[in-house]
Chains A and B, each alone.
Chain A
């Protein structure tokens, strides 16, 4: 991963402003095309489009009726998504952080194989997991429960989080941990008091990705629930668009609200996100 993230500045020849301003303009055009759907989502969430009426290009007469409807119809689902997202972060970090350290530091037989297995899990289609998990969850009573969804979402996120944090933890100088061990701390204490604080950034990155993954999960929730007992917001949106939509306002308002965590994270934690994208893909 390190080899790909080192930023090598290009030799900047003396290109004048005359050349770079059109580049910026072109960049804005490209970005505009790419994020137009996101604009349209926000734009039409502020308009009433009931009946045959269509959304206009700008929300000149903004209305929040879409959001009111979204809260009325989907409010509980947001709470469900929040519980699932936070629960998944907790379980994933509890399992993945020690494992990442163990795989980064301890030379044991089988760790290389396990790393390979972790890499392979990333490629197993979720529908394959869901198919068999449904029968297992049915047997042990985990269908339609928060615990079931949190466990399944965690399982999906754990391999990626381990790979991400391990890449960082490998770079911690062993001497730091050895010093604590010499002072009489055991491996676990040294891990908690030294490795975890140093790895804060990597852990935050893993937590962000885990939350986004669990919050945005659709397929696991779709397959491992059969009643309305536990309904994340993604299923709420799916229910909206699965039928013939007559008023897109509430649908788009719900989509905007469901997208808020991603937008917030992009603003406050962009560098973590870029690091995570690379960590998961190249490593």
Chain B
């Protein structure tokens, strides 16, 4: 990726005159053009390229707090992976990650699509209400975690207060290992609804109205129109929303750390929070890196799906 090697081929069409005296100007222009992009390339290389490579290396090293003092990080082969895969917590973590991701995505999508279909009906104030719907999505995640932790508080939280009106005894939302994951998934669904609604709404807006008119002439209205007109038309948007949703959900750390810290008894520990705990609580950076790599492999699988879908959509 050297700049000079690329500058030669970088001359744009504007300076394509063949006069020999201009070749120096051409080269200069090529270099200038690379200068537009070079800082971004450097940033991406240092802050994305380096960490990904470094994580792979660290995952084969015994990289702990001691490393920072002695500078030594002995190579340990696959020991970090062996220890990770062999621990009972890792299995819990994998199951939690799957439940968290699937539960969040399914509900976010269903509710998001419902709201998008609802808001498409351009009633008075629909645009205003749809705009306000973005608010939960824009708040700092940790502020949302704080308010949800308060809402879900067992003794005096608003949700238990409300349920108490119907005689329901106080529910230990965040402190019972059996319920904490459900509660955390619920909060994450709430966070994802605005995003899903917004993207799906824009997808719905791009369905040509003529299609509905033609379909209604053929007797397809209501559910039938959705099944035969809407759904086929928005399928590529749907795939993008779902795949992006999966990738974003796999990354979630803020919400879980804020609400439960991964507890109680690891019942809300996911791959991402587990990687955090190993590296930044236990200072086992090697093991944290191994878990990070598992996470990144899973994310990349979906990233590949996403890119192939958006490529296909671009070709259409």
Contacts and interface: CB of A to CB of B under 8 A. Distances in A.
Interface of A: 3-12, 20-21, 23-24, 26-28, 30-31, 34-35, 37-38, 40-41, 44, 49, 52-55, 94-96, 98-99, 101-103, 106-111, 114, 116-136, 138, 151-152, 154-156, 158-159, 162, 178, 181, 186-188, 191, 212, 215-216, 218-219, 222-223, 233-234, 237-238, 240-242, 245, 248, 251-252, 254-255, 258-259, 262-263, 265-266, 270, 273-274, 277-278, 281-282
A129 B303 contact: no
A52 B155 contact: yes
A24 B205 CA distance: 19
Contact of B209 (A8, A151, A240): A8
6 contacts: A131-B279, A132-B54, A219-B253, A233-B140, A255-B143, A258-B139
B163 interface: no
Contacts of B12: 106-107
B251 A241 contact: no
A99 B296 CA distance: 26
Contacts of A265: 138
For B6, B119, B280, the residue with the greatest tally of chain A CB atoms inside 10 Å of its CB is B280
A27 B129 contact: yes
Contact of B32 (A95, A159, A186): A186
B43 interface: yes
B91 interface: no
A234 B35 CA distance: 36
A266 B138 contact: yes
Contacts of A270: 131, 134
Nearest to B193: A34
Contacts of B46: 155
A252 B146 contact: yes
A66 to B, nearest CB: 12
A109 B29 CA distance: 15
A116 B131 contact: no
Interface in B141-155: 141-151, 155
A57 to B, nearest CB: 8
Contacts of A187: 29, 32-33, 36
Given A119-B307, A128-B51, 15 more contacts: A10-B209, A20-B124, A24-B125, A24-B129, A41-B143, A108-B34, A134-B279, A187-B32, A212-B138, A216-B142, A237-B142, A248-B150, A263-B135, A266-B132, A277-B134
A11 B259 CA distance: 45
B254 A218 contact: yes
Contacts of B33: 102, 106, 108, 187
Contacts of B229: none
Contacts of A154: 43
Nearest to B216: A11
A216 B47 contact: no
Nearest to A233: B140
Contact of B144 (A4, A37, A152): A37
Given A27-B125, A127-B253, A128-B292, A274 B131 contact: yes
Contacts of A118: 44
Contact of A26 (B52, B118, B276): B118
A241 B258 contact: yes
Nearest to A151: B47
A281 B213 contact: no
Interface in B24-74: 29-30, 32-37, 39-41, 43-44, 46-48, 50-52, 54-55, 58, 63, 67-68
Contacts of A254: 146
B146 A241 contact: yes
A265 B194 CA distance: 16
Contacts of A38: 135-136, 139, 147
Contacts of B198: 274, 277-278
Contact of B50 (A5, A136, A186, A282): A136
B132 A31 contact: yes
Given A123-B302, A251-B150, A30 B118 contact: yes
Nearest to A282: B240
B135 A266 contact: yes
A192 B32 CA distance: 14
Contacts of A155: 43-44, 46-48
A49 B157 CA distance: 11
A102 B279 contact: no
Nearest to B46: A155
B95 to A, nearest CB: 19
